[in-house]
Chain A
Amino acid sequence: MTGPDSLSTLEHRLGRLFVAGLTISAVFLIAGLVSYLALPGTAAGEWPLTAGLVVLMATPLMRVLVSMLEYVRMSEWFFVLTTLAVLAELSITLIYALLQR
């Protein structure tokens, strides 16, 4: 079992991941909203809005992926299994959603 220092490092890493994900998402969402409001009734802003929402949804997914890789590095196999289980559940959601579109 690894110590609290490794978990603190992981926590810092995840913090940076959240900031990056939120920043990219917010830039797309602001650009999309501005386009949508500037050109009402057109498709303007559609793709940046979609991109912003997709990045937003992808951020927690990336967090689970980064956590899993970090637990592999720490050799914490029980938590590797738990992250894999969560990734499997999220994969079912994404596959089902893609099939519905």
Chain B
Amino acid sequence: MVCGVLAGGLGALLGIGGGVFLVPFLNSVVGVPIKIAIATSLMTVIATSSAVSAGTAGRNLINLRLGMLLEVASAAGGLTAGLTFQHLSERTLYIAFATVTACIAMLMVTRIDRRNVLDASIDPGMLGGRYFDDESGKMIVYRVKRLPVALGVSTVAGLVSGALGIGGGILKVPMLIAWCGVPLRAAAATSALMIGVTAVASVPIQYAHGFIHPPLAASAVLGVLVGSRAGLWFGGRAKARSVKILMAVVLALVSAVYFMKLS
């Protein structure tokens, strides 16, 4: 439950779900088999998604149209992962985990100062959005660019989510910021909404295959619910640049842990 609190806090803060922190903790520290850790983590991803979305609803940060469109792709990826999960070896999962987290950490560092904000008078278009930003005290307007890229990355994010139990926001948030013109807070809120559905596309299959231990999953979920409240509170007050740096550092550490497990 304690690691659920920590994972939920960081997951809510970064809009990526707590899985990227919970899986290595359950697997490497507590000694839970990797597949059970992944399935447990997917349950907490659903909890984080619902808790964060409940917390951000009403602030116009969640881009419902973009989120729903990208969910078609991410749920397809999640479903594919759910159907193939039981056939993946532990070594494959370790390599995938280490590689994905390292790539995203590097992407975050290279795009650390990018701001996807347009003039407030510009029409955001069908998939764009506008919201009031507490950090700058201004109305933020943005347009969505490179939709095919967003759909492609969302499919991969769904695959990664279902196979590694890490939510998928780990890919979608940086992608939406770096390539699709979505500001950090809108990207994090939209991703948080999406990761719940992406997880539901695969976790019932893992449940049916016996990879869910209900008391362990319940403990982790309750911990994440507490932690995500704290993460939301802190996220509303943290500087966007600091959040990106924190994300990059944590991902680099997770990647290093899994590369070390391979050696």
Contact = CB atoms under 8 A, between A and B. Distances in A.
Interface of A: 1, 4, 7-8, 10-12, 14-15, 18-19, 21-22, 25-26, 29-30, 32-33, 36, 45-46, 49-50, 52-53, 56-57, 59-61, 63-64, 67, 79, 82-83, 85-86, 89-90, 92-94, 96-98, 100-101
B200 to A, nearest CB: 5
B79 A22 contact: no
**Overall SS of chain A's interface:** helix
A100 B72 contact: no
The 10 closest A-B pairs by CB, nearest first: A15-B57, A60-B196, A18-B54, A97-B204, A49-B214, A100-B208, A97-B208, A29-B218, A89-B75, A18-B50
B69 A59 contact: no
B222 A7 contact: no
B46 A59 contact: yes
A46 B212 CA distance: 13
A69 to B, nearest CB: 13
Nearest to A8: B60
Nearest to B63: A7
Contacts of B222: 26, 29-30, 33
A32 B217 CA distance: 11
Contacts of B218: 29, 32-33, 49, 52-53
B53 to A, nearest CB: 5
B10 interface: no
